[in-house]
Amino acid sequence: MSSIVSSMKDIFSDKDIISSILDGSLWNTILDGYLRDIFDGSLWIMAFALSLATYFGIRFLFPSPYKKVVVELPEGVSKDTFKIFIEDCADNLALLRRDAASIHKLPFRSAVLHLCHLGDDLLVNFEKDPKDVQVAHALPDRLQRLHEILIGYLELAQQRSQSPQTLRAMEDSEKAVIKAVAKFEELHHRVLENDALDLSTNAKTLDNLLDFD
């Protein structure tokens, strides 16, 4: 408290400061500096606003020539339905991969992984050309069933003592999965054939357009 009082005494003992307060020059100096700060800040805000206006004006007058490609969903399939279809397939393929990692029989594990690779290719194609979903609407259910078969297979494979009936059940499971792989290959070829037909059609159309005779 004494230090504050001492500082106040020093200030009011200075005749220059007292005279500045009395004649108003000190207040004018403080006010000028305050107004100058406000003015400088206003200039910055105005410059920023002008930059934004210029940017959006240019984008409006000269839009980008590159536009995002919008894929068409097949009739009767909503965005939510398509999204759920892709997510369900991806989730089931992840489960099948996890199942494959636990299979000790290498040829059978390779077959399951091959099926997963085919599934990945199908999902990529579906996202590129959603119309192909119409030929594979049951895919999530089929993948789920394969996962259930592999779960049962792995449970039997972990048994220390395996009866002839257990071995036969495991063999039947392997045959079912191998048959499923063949079906996936057929679906894969069918989808790719559709893409090939579309490409051939586009090529013929271009050839006709380039025929100037």
Provide the mean pLDDT of the chain: 74
Q: What is the pLDDT of residue 162?
A: 85
Q: What is the pLDDT of residue 198?
A: 55
Q: What is the pLDDT of residue 79?
A: 85
Q: Please identify every stretch of the chain with a pLDDT value under 70, giving residue numbers as ranges.
A: 1-53, 55-76, 194-213
Q: What is the pLDDT of residue 135?
A: 80
177-185 contacts: CB < 8 A, separation 24 or more?
Answer: 177/108, 177/111, 177/112, 177/115, 177/146, 177/149, 177/150, 178/108, 178/111, 180/115, 180/142, 180/146, 181/111, 181/112, 181/114, 181/115, 181/118, 184/115, 184/118, 184/119, 184/122, 185/118
Q: What is the pLDDT of residue 81?
A: 87
Residues 72-97: pLDDT tens digits?
A: 666 667 888 889 999 999 999 999 99
